[in-house]
Structure 1
Amino acid sequence: MTERLREDLDTFAEEHGYTGRSEVIREACQSLLEEYQEADYEDQRVLATVTAVFGYDEPEIERRMMDIRHEFEGSIRSNSHNCLRENAGCVETFVVEAAYQDVLHFIGTVRGADESVSVEYTVVPVNGNDTAASDISDS
């Protein structure tokens, strides 16, 4: 865990009435586990937008994003990379269509690219008669 993340956790804990960073981490872990246990879209084909934000000029993270694009290319419908103004950071945006569990795997892979990557996403079911799941390739 980076020093900045520890400091941010300590500040967050203090500002929001937590006893310390371990309580914040425990609650965050519980929320993450619950998020992945939700079965609203289980066995459904979904469309997800996944946004990853990370520091500017981070070649290792950019390389990892490229690897992720190749690893999941069968389900990525769209991808863009943009730099924020004044080199404040980079934004990688993915649109993914696949089975819900495969989308969760993709999101976990993006989150795991680097501890400094911030990831947000939305998921909606794909409407239509074809409900067969499209697998994301792990090759």
Structure 2
Amino acid sequence: MQRVTLTLDDALLAAVDAHAERHGYANRSEAVRDALRRALAAAAEPAAEPERCCATLSYVYEHEKRELSRRLARVQHGHHDLAVASLHVHLDHDTCLEVAVLRGPTEAVRRLADAVTTQRGVRFGHLHMLPAAEDEAATVADNGGHPHPAKG
């Protein structure tokens, strides 16, 4: 690991310290490293994205909107190979929150997220992607498509 010296104005340093304390970082370095990783990932060109990812797709929608539940189910069934798990919560009489845990090719995960969040009646949507384990693709292939590690 390299040691780097940064010069920050007092207000920015106070904000870093407050962020580190609020999120429970052991020190400033950990907080700054995470902030840099997030900033670099957000600024990455699509070509720099990993080939495979793990992701959560969270969205809030009006469950009574005409045919929306059926349309959402159709979209998700069309991408069943990406779905790991999902959570459905009734927020109030008219509104539901769903969180889907996804895993697969990054571009396919992004297409699924776009297909869900652009449906009429979906109020808010957010896709949070993380790179998949580097050896995941090899492990899946070695186990006949089953995603658990081989017993050794």
- C-alpha change, 1:115 and 1:83, in structure 2 (3 Å) is closer
**What SS does the aligned partner of 1:74 have?**
helix
Which AA in structure 1 matches 2:133? N
Calculate the aligned-residue CA RMSD, in Å.
2.6
- Normalization by structure 2: what TM-score? 0.55
Q: In 2, are the aligned partners of 1:55 and 1:88 still within 8 Å (CA)? A: yes
Letter in 2 for 1:54: Y
> Which residue in 1 is equivalent to 2:49?
41
Q: How far apart are residue 118 of structure 1 and its match?
A: 1.5
Structure 1 residue 115, shift from structure 2 partner? 5.5
Question: For residue 71 of structure 1, what is the amino acid of its counterpart?
Answer: G
- Aligned with residue 77 of structure 1, among 84, 94, 116: 84
Mapped to 2, the partners of 1:40 and 1:107 lie a distance apart of 19
Tell me by how many angstroms 1:47 deviates. 0.5
CA distance in 2, matches of 1:62, 1:92: 11
Give the TM-score of the pair, scaled to structure 1: 0.59
Relative contact order: is structure 1 or structure 2 higher (C-alpha 8 Å, sep ≥ 6)? 1
Letter in 1 for 2:83: I
Return the alpha-carbon distance in structure 2 between the equivalents of residues 41 and 94 of structure 1. 20
Evaluate the alpha carbon distance shift between residue 95 and residue 35 of structure 1 in structure 2; reply closer, same or farther with a 3 A threshold: farther
Identity score, percent: 18
Q: Deviations over 1:18-47 (max 9, x none)?
A: xxxxxxxxxxxxxxxx989533324x2100
**Is this contact kept in 2: 1:53–1:117, CA < 8 A?**
yes
Trace 1:92-131 onto structure 2 (pairs within 5 A).
Answer: 92-114=98-120, 116-131=122-137
Q: Is structure 2 residue 61 aligned with structure 1 residue 54?
A: yes
